[in-house]
A and B are shown apart, each in its own frame.
Chain A
Amino acid sequence: MKITVVCSLGLGSSFMIEMNVKELLQQYNIKGIEVEHVDIATANYLKSDIFICSSSIDFQHPHQESTVICLENLLDIEELELKLRQVIPKEVWK
């Protein structure tokens, strides 16, 4: 499974969100999920199961159906967990 975090330059905020995702995965001891962060132009050409972005970006993949999580508050780890729980299967969470 792959999670891609998207922001406009792919340098600043996407990196922070990626760190939060990784922290959650570690906290719940979830293995086998790959996380990376990129800019919007690159994200258009990536295959990923889940895309995460800020609600102001509202990323839509042009070529594939994929789950997109839009965050209202980029750093709110609770919001992130809540939204990730809706898309990552229940069995995975301990």
Chain B
Amino acid sequence: MNIAFSGLFTDSFFIIGIATFAGLLAQKKPLEKIISGTIKTLMGILIISFGANMVIQAITILMLIIQNAFHIFGIVPNNESIVAIIQIRYSYETAVIMFIGMFIHLLIAKFSSLKYLFLNGYYTFYMAALLGATLVTNISSNFTILLIGGSILGILMSVLPALAQPFVFKITGKKSIALGFFGTFACIFSGYLSKLLFRKKELDHADGEGIFKKKFSSNLFLDSSITVCLFMFVLVVISSLFANKDVLKDLSGQTNYMLFIFKQPLIFSSGFYIILVGVRMFTEEILYAFKGIGDKIIPNAIPALDTPILFTYNPSMVFIGFIFSLLGAVVAIFIQLYLGVRIVLPGIISHFFSGATSGLFGYVYGGKKGAIFSSFVHGILISFLSLLAFPIFSNLGIIRTTFGDSDFSVVSMLLKYVLDFINTFH
């Protein structure tokens, strides 16, 4: 091939740029929209990698402090962080797997009885990143691998909403809504477990209302960047109290070390915020197009959406779910300390969204007790899943963070298991 084209077709900017441009052109958008849409999508990728560096910096310092204070290795599970870090090296694989996955998902929805349209775009992107990183580091990058990754993604996008549907139907009373979420495994696992333990005769929607004021559950925890910052602040301050002051002074260099410590949560949440902006810019045009095509070719599809669509149905269970999931994560830390393994610090965002969902799922069959039990189990479960999946990402050079939600951990472990099995025959 001509030298002018070498490396062109395996470059993420080129592939994503062309795909977005062609997609906007095909939708017959005005020229101005085509140009701005393409530029915004490409800017999104750059913004994500910029945020990744900030997040890495803050996590590294927090983990050094924790290591010094408690002599243990810690992990911070956070989807946004690890996806952004993966993007630095595997953005091409991620993009291709995402496009193939969406295409296969549309085929499944069109020609099978799984009529779900997975519209949770950023989760699609995160799963594509996971598949890209796991497949490429364990085999190599070629088109067959990306096709396999895309197929797995497409299947997950169709199957997971179907698995969660019994719960979602009980919560919403509607058949026209589904859950499109990659934390489904832990939620249905804990949901069915509480079904086994607690039998509830009648489902009463009013039960539990008013135990906690709605305002309290929402305003404090829904502004994600503030929540993340406060949570990191608590972690970093507690561990600094136990850390050697000389080490802290070494880490901080010229800066006053107390100021340096207080800055870390701010750096982390700024990075988190930047990643969110980047993800929004990157996925926006792709999602519009995806939904447009989906609506056209599968008009009877059930939209599978993000967890908050369930939250208004029972806000107090959302709060219970979050608190008990977090409590489960704290208990998990003590178990991990006892076992002498790495500790998984609670991934606050996952405990909120996934924990709340597990609370709602537990409530469906077990009432309030079911919700408490389900979210508590869920908290322990996702903590250990993150711990078990962690080694898979450590050979990416990612030492301090991993995915927070259950499906990412489960998929990466299954994939690793299968790949190791295949590799023994080579």
Contacts and interface: CB of A to CB of B under 8 A. Distances in A.
A41 B351 CA distance: 20
A18 to B, nearest CB: 10
Interface string A1-37: 0000001111111011001000000000000000001
Interface residues of A, number: 26
B119 A16 contact: yes
B273 A54 contact: no
Contacts of A49: none
Contacts of B305: 12-13, 16, 75
B315 A8 contact: no
Contact of B222 (A8, A12, A16): A8
Contacts of A41: 223-226, 273
16 contacts: A7-B308, A8-B223, A9-B224, A11-B280, A12-B121, A15-B119, A15-B121, A38-B280, A39-B225, A40-B222, A40-B224, A56-B217, A56-B222, A56-B312, A57-B222, A72-B312
Given A11-B306, A12-B122, A39-B276, A55 B312 contact: yes
B287 A15 contact: yes
A74 B177 CA distance: 11
B224 A8 contact: yes
Q: Which 6 A-B pairs have the closest CB atoms?
A: A12-B306, A8-B222, A40-B223, A11-B122, A13-B308, A56-B218
A58 interface: yes
B318 interface: yes
A9 B287 contact: no
B276 A11 contact: yes
B303 interface: yes
Contact of A75 (B177, B219, B223, B224): B177
Contacts, number: 85
Q: Which of B303, B307, B309 has the most CB of A within 10 A?
A: B309
B363 to A, nearest CB: 16
A74 B223 contact: no
A6 to B, nearest CB: 10
B215 interface: yes
B249 interface: no
Nearest to A71: B312
B279 interface: yes
Contacts of A57: 218-219, 222
Contact of B218 (A15, A38, A39, A58): A58
Interface in B267-283: 273, 276-277, 279-280, 283
